[in-house]
Structure 1
Amino acid sequence: MKAITYRRYGGPEVLDYGEVPDPKVGPDSVLIRVRAAAVNPVDWKAQAGYLDPVLDAVFPVIPGWDVAGVVERPGPAVTEFRPGDEVIGYVREDFLSRGTFAEYVAAPLRTLARKPRNLSFAQAACIPLAGLTAYQALTGALRVTEGDTVLVHAAAGGVGSMAVQLARHMGARVIGTASERNHDYLRALGADPVVYGDGLADRVRELVPRGVDAALDLVGGQALTASAELLARGGRLASIADPEVLALGGRYVFVRPDPNDLQDLTDLAERGALGVELAAVLPLPRTAEAQRLSAEGHTRGKIAVTID
C-alpha cells in the first residue's frame, strides 16, 4: 500500500511517500480503507521527537492518529462492524509506528465508532482527536454543566472550535479567545469572542466581572496564568498544553481513545450540534505541505488529507 513515512525525527522534510507492507489485522482489530486523515499539531510534534520520553518510535513510522474510512475486513473476534461500514477512529497506540496517513490502517476496536452520516470523510476524520480532547476536558476535568461560563483559549482552532460547540450544547455560556479576524466565526458558533494577548484578563472581566466557572487552556504560558486569575470561587481549570496547570490546582488532559465518547460525538454531529470547519484539504502525497500549514498556528478549524 501507499503511505507517508519517516525514518528519523525531524520536520516535514523527513516525510516520504511510497510503498510499505499492508498492515496485519489482529483478532480485535478492523482493517480500514482510509478515505481521509486529519492533521493535528501532535503529529508533527511527535515526528520532531517531542514525545520521545513517553512514546517509543518504531521506524519507519507512519504518522497520524485520526481516520475516516470504510471497513475492508474485520478481525475474527469483531462482531460490531462489517465490510462496507463507514467508521471514524482515534487510532493511537502506546508507541509510534502504525498511523493513519496510509491507504489502509488496522485499527483496534476500542478506537472506533460509526462515521457521522451527514459529514464528508474529510470532515469526519477531523472529529476524533480534537473532538475527544474537547469532550473529555469539558465532561471530565471541568465538569461543565448548564449555566456555567466557560473560557476557551484558541477557540477558533481545531480543539477550541469543538470545545465551543460542545460547551454551548451543554448549556454553558462560552467566552473564546481568538484573533480579531476569527471573531465573526466564534459568534456564529455561539461564543463571545475576545482578543488574546496583553490585557486579556481585563477584557474577560468586562464580560464576566465575577469570573468564569471553568477555563480550558489550549495554549499554555500566559494564557494559562490568566485563566487561573479569572476563575470564580470554586472555578475549575484544565490544560492540554501546559503541565504547569497542576501547580495551579487544575487538571492536565491527555486525550485517550474511547469508543463510547466517540459515538457520542458522532451522535452530536448527526444532530447538528457539532460541525467541522475545514481550513484545507490536500491529497495524501502533499502531507508535508499540510503539516507546514498546521505548524504555522493560524489555522481556523482543521486540515485533512484525503486518499483516492
Structure 2
Amino acid sequence: MPENKGVVATGSRDLNNLVTVKEVPYPFLEDDIVIVKAAAYAVNPTDWKHILPEEFISSKMSGFLRKLGFGISPLENAFGTAGSTLGNCLGKTFSFVQKGVVLGTDVSGVVVDVGKNVTRVKKGDVVAGSVHGGISKYGAFSDFVMVAENSILKFDPSQIHKEALKPGEYPSSKVNSYEAAASVALAIKTTGISLHHNLKVPANKAENSDNCILIWGGATATGFVAIQVAKLVYGLRVITTASSKHHETLLALGADKAIDYNDSDAIAQIREAGQNRIKYGMDCVSSVDTLQQVYDATEGCEDVRIDNLLFLDEKLIKRKPERKVTFTSTNGYLTDGRRHFGIKASPEMMKEYLEFWNNYAPTVLDKIKTAPLYVLPTGLESGNEGLKLMVENKVNGRKVVFRNGQDI
C-alpha cells in the first residue's frame, strides 16, 4: 500500500497545536467506498467544533434543562440559562475527537480505487466528496481518503485545472480548480438534505414561483451554495441575510432580496419582502438567536418549515401556539448509510437525498459558484492554521482551502 499521511488530533486545546501531521493507515476498501487520492481540502466549522464542543454541548444542555420549566416561561428561561452555562463548562473538559484520529470533512482529487458495488464513478475520475472526519482514522485531511459513493460528486475533467492556486484570497468563481471543488462538496450535500428532504421543497419551478425561502446567513459557505441551488433547482424566490458588504455578491448569485441582519428592523424588512409567502426557512448560522429570528421572520405564512444545521431544539426559542411550524435539523454525516453518534438515516431520508444527489446535483456542478476562497500554503501542515483561523473567526465570508502537494 502507498504511504499515507494525515492531519491527526493531538488531544490539545491549544489553537497552535490542535493537530499534527503523522503517518496513518491506508483506507480500507469497502464495497460502497471510493478511495480518492487527495488534491485539495476545505476547512469547515464542524472540523474544529468536534475538537472544541462547548457551543454544541451548551445548546443541548440548555434545551434539556428548559424542559424542567414545564412551559412556565420564567422557569424555562432560568433553567435554560443554567443549562447553557453548565454545558459550556462541561464542553471545555472533553472533546468528541480522540487523540490520533484524522480530521477533515471536505476533499477533492482523483479516484484510485472503487468498491465492488460502486457504479457512479471509476478509477481516474475527478471528484470531490465529504466524510465525517474526527471520529475515526479515515478523515478527509490525508493523502488517500475513503469516501462513500453517496457522498461523491464527479466533475468533467475539463472543468478542473491541475495547477495549484497560490496562497492568498480569490473571489467567487465557478468550480474550476481542485481547491474550488473541495469547497463545495459538503455545502451541496447539506443543501440537498435540507431542501429536498427536510424542507420538502418540490423540484418544480412552476409550482415554487410564488413561494419564498429565507436563507439566514447567505454569506456562509453553505448559504452561498443554498441560494444558488434554491434558484437553479427549485425556482424559489430567495430572501437572505448577511452584512451589507456581501449584498451585491449574493444578489448576483440569484438572491431576490438581501437584508442586513444588523438592522434593528431586519425582521420587519424580511416580512415585508416575503409578503406572507415565506414557506421555508434555512438557518445556515444555527444559533439559538438566529433560529428565533428565522421563526419570527416567517410569521404570516401557513405551514412553515424551518431547518437548522446544528441539531437545535425548537424548545430553545419562544413560539406561538397558534402557529403551525415544522422544525428539522440537517445531519449531513448520515448520507453514507452508517451510524454517527448513534443515529442512522431513515429510508425516507436516503431515498429523497439520493434523488437530489443523483438527479439534480450533477446539473448544477458547472453553474455553481464557490464562496470566496482563502488559500493557505500547500501541504498538510496547513491543517492547523486553517482550524485556528476558523476558531478565531478570521475568515468571515471566505472558504479556507489548502492543497495536498502530491502529484495528481
TM-score tier by shorter-chain length is 0.7 to 0.9
123-132 or 107-116: bigger deviation: 107-116
Higher strand share: 1
- Alignment-derived partner of residue 259 in structure 2: 194
Verify the 8 A CA contact 1:161 1:301 in the aligned structure 2. Answer: no
1:291 to 387, 390, 393: 387
- Aligned AA for 1:213? K
Q: Secondary structure at the match of 2:108?
A: strand
Cα 1:294–1:209 change in 2 (3 A) is same
- Alignment-derived partner of residue 73 in structure 1: 113
CA distance in 1, matches of 2:179, 2:354: 20
- Alignment-derived partner of residue 138 in structure 1: 195
CA distance in 2, matches of 1:229, 1:307: 44
Verify the 8 A CA contact 2:150 2:354 in the aligned structure 1. Answer: yes
Q: Secondary structure at the match of 1:210?
A: coil
- Alignment-derived partner of residue 404 in structure 2: 307
Q: Shift in Å at residue 138 of structure 1?
A: 1.3
CA deviation vs aligned residue, 1:75-118 (integer Å, no higher than 9, x gap): 45545543212122222379343101111112233332323542
CA distance in 2, matches of 1:126, 1:246: 33
- Aligned AA for 1:107? V
* Identity %, equivalent residues: 24
Question: Which of the two has higher C-alpha Rg?
Answer: 2
CA deviation vs aligned residue, 1:258-300 (integer Å, no higher than 9, x gap): 6664443233112x2x221232122232122222332306532
Verify the 8 A CA contact 1:152 1:160 in the aligned structure 2. Answer: yes
200-209 or 122-131: bigger deviation: 200-209
CA deviation vs aligned residue, 1:46-81 (integer Å, no higher than 9, x gap): 12245799x964541111121111112234554554
Matched, 1:162 2:206: no
- Alignment-derived partner of residue 371 in structure 2: 277
- Aligned AA for 1:218? C
2:43 to 31, 39, 43: 39
1:241 to 302, 307, 310: 310
CA RMSD of aligned residues (A): 2.7
Verify the 8 A CA contact 2:53 2:96 in the aligned structure 1. Answer: no
Verify the 8 A CA contact 1:68 1:122 in the aligned structure 2. Answer: yes
Verify the 8 A CA contact 2:103 2:134 in the aligned structure 1. Answer: no
- Alignment-derived partner of residue 293 in structure 2: 226
Gaps of 5+ in 2: 58-90, 160-174, 203-207, 320-325, 336-352
Matched, 1:121 2:161: no
CA distance in 2, matches of 1:178, 1:68: 28
What's the TM-score, normalizing by structure 1?
0.88
282-291 or 159-168: bigger deviation: 282-291
Cα 1:187–1:79 change in 2 (3 A) is closer
Cα 1:34–1:42 change in 2 (3 A) is same
Cα 1:43–1:268 change in 2 (3 A) is same
CA distance in 2, matches of 1:7, 1:293: 18
- Alignment-derived partner of residue 85 in structure 1: 125
Cα 1:82–1:238 change in 2 (3 A) is closer
Matched, 1:19 2:85: no
Cα 1:36–1:266 change in 2 (3 A) is farther
CA distance in 1, matches of 2:226, 2:212: 13
- Alignment-derived partner of residue 279 in structure 2: 213
Cα 1:110–1:166 change in 2 (3 A) is closer
Q: Shift in Å at residue 236 of structure 1?
A: 1.6
CA distance in 2, matches of 1:164, 1:75: 34
261-270 or 287-296: bigger deviation: 261-270
